[in-house]
Amino acid sequence: MILQPGEKLHVIHRRYFEKESRRHFVGIVEAYEGGVARVTGNVFTVDRTKFAFVRRPEMRTRIISLVSGDVLVNVIPPSVDLDKVVYKQEKKSVRVTDGSDWHLDLSEFTWI
């Protein structure tokens, strides 16, 4: 099986229009079947006044098709604390981190 319940994911939703909001999702897989995952976690969007990603406080459960071509999915190591995940601007790149040694470099996805 590609994904197991309990695995952690970082999901980038594809933008179809230049001015469309950037949406990312960080969560835990509850179930996976036939290319579709049920994932519970938090949405991160760009605050256009601060030019920074911010976490939406409410937990959400999303059904995400991994075969649609609408998302880029990164599997996050089990040791990552999802409650501490933040986005940090570093020079011209963006990194996702939980403050530990782990980080995910999103430089190819920056908004600059």
Number of domains in the chain: 1
What does pTM read for this prediction?
0.83
The Cα–Cα gap between 28 and 50 comes to 28
Q: pLDDT digit string (tens) for 73-91?
A: 999 999 999 999 988 877 7
Residue 68's domain comprises: 8-80
- Residue 91 has which token pair? 């020079």
In a domain, 92, yes or no: no
Torsion angles phi and psi, residue 7, rounded to 5: -70, 150
In a domain, 23, yes or no: yes
**pLDDT band (50, 70, 90) for residue 28:** very high
- Average pLDDT of the segment spanning 45-74: 84
